[in-house]
Amino acid sequence: MNPWDVPTVDVSELPAGAVILDVREPDEWAHGHIDGAVHVPMNSLPQRLAYEPGPITPDTPVVVVCKVGGRSAHVTAWLNRQGYDAVNLDGGMLAWAAAGRPMVSETGDAPMVA
């Protein structure tokens, strides 16, 4: 599967019960993320799924997000090849913020997409 030919979902159409998987780096996550999302940086995902998958299972829909959608497209393609039901959040966190959807921050400052 071409990493740019992956299923996508609009910010307004998130599947019910989906796990939101944020694959950005820790500093990006700290500045602003979707409340309740699971944070696993892209390069850590294979090891995390092998040893501590948590809520990320092949039986649960997964919405993958990064800043713009490039990294999450690669992760979505990889997850689908592994048997997961994954979609890429179209436009990433920038689209989420532009839609006025809520975010939280771990820096003490107002949340922002970094």
Show which residues are catalytic: 66
DSSP code of residue 4: T
Query: d(Cα 24, Cα 42) in Å, to the nearest integer?
Result: 7
**Order of all β-strands in the sheet with 38-39:** 8-9, 85-89, 61-65, 19-22, 38-39
Residue 91: how many CB atoms within 10 A of its CB?
A: 18
